[in-house]
C-alpha cells in the first residue's frame, strides 16, 4: 500500500517536508493541517491502458474566501510502463458564478463553460506536466 502526501497552498515547512510517497500513512504535523493524504489511489485503477488520463473534482476541496470559491481538481495519468502519476490544480470562480453553475443550473451553459475549461486544463496537464513525471521513456521507433 502506498500513501501520497500532497501539500496545499501556503503549506508550512513541516508539511512540505512530507510531500511525496510513503509506505505507511504519515502523521499530520499539526492540528490545523489540511494537506491531502491519498491511499491506495494507484491500486484502485490497475489495468487501465497506458495513456489513460482523467480528472476528478475533489468533493471536499471547495474553499470559500472573500467571495471566491476555489475548486480543487485532481488529475491522474497511466504511464507507458503502467505506473500512475498524479497532479492537481485549483479553479477559481466568484461565489455568484459558482452558485449559478453548481446550484441553480448544474447542466446549464455556465456549468458547461466551466466544465470545458477544466477539461482543457486536465488535457494540458496530461500532455505536459504528468507526461514528464512518467518514469519510463518509450522510444516510439521500432
pLDDT tens figures, 111-133: 888 888 988 999 999 888 888 88
Query: 88 pairs with which residues across the strands?
Result: 74
Distance between CA atoms of 26 and 37, rounded to whole angstroms? 8
Using the 8-state DSSP alphabet, how is residue 45 labeled?
G
Distance between CA atoms of 18 and 43, rounded to whole angstroms? 21
User: Residue 68 has what pLDDT?
Assistant: 85
Model pLDDT for residues 27-48, shown as the tens digit of each residue? 888 877 777 777 655 455 556 7
Model pLDDT for residues 80-119, shown as the tens digit of each residue? 777 888 888 888 888 888 888 878 887 788 888 888 898 8
> Are 47 and 104 spatial neighbours (Cβ–Cβ below 8 Å)?
no
> Are 1 and 26 spatial neighbours (Cβ–Cβ below 8 Å)?
no
Distance between CA atoms of 38 and 21, rounded to whole angstroms? 9
User: Residue 1 has what pLDDT?
Assistant: 47
Stronger pLDDT, 93 or 137, i.e. the higher one: 93
User: Residue 121 has what pLDDT?
Assistant: 92
Stronger pLDDT, 89 or 57, i.e. the higher one: 89
Amino acid at each position: 500500500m502506498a500513501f501520497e502526501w500532497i501539500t496545499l497552498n501556503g503549506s508550512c515547512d513541516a508539511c512540505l517536508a512530507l510531500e511525496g510517497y510513503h509506505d505507511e500513512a504519515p502523521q499530520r504535523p499539526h492540528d490545523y493541517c489540511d494537506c491531502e493524504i491519498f491511499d491506495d489511489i494507484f491500486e484502485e485503477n490497475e489495468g487501465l491502458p497506458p495513456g489513460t488520463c482523467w480528472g476528478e473534482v475533489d468533493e471536499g476541496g471547495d474553499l470559500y474566501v472573500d467571495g471566491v470559491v476555489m475548486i480543487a481538481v485532481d488529475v491522474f495519468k497511466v504511464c507507458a510502463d503502467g505506473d500512475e502519476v498524479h497532479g492537481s490544480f485549483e479553479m477559481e470562480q466568484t461565489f455568484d458564478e459558482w452558485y449559478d453553475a453548481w446550484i441553480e443550473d448544474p447542466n446549464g451553459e455556465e456549468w458547461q463553460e466551466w466544465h470545458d475549461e477544466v477539461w482543457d486544463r486536465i488535457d494540458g496537464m496530461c500532455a505536459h506536466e504528468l507526461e514528464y513525471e512518467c518514469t519510463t521513456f518509450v522510444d516510439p521507433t521500432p
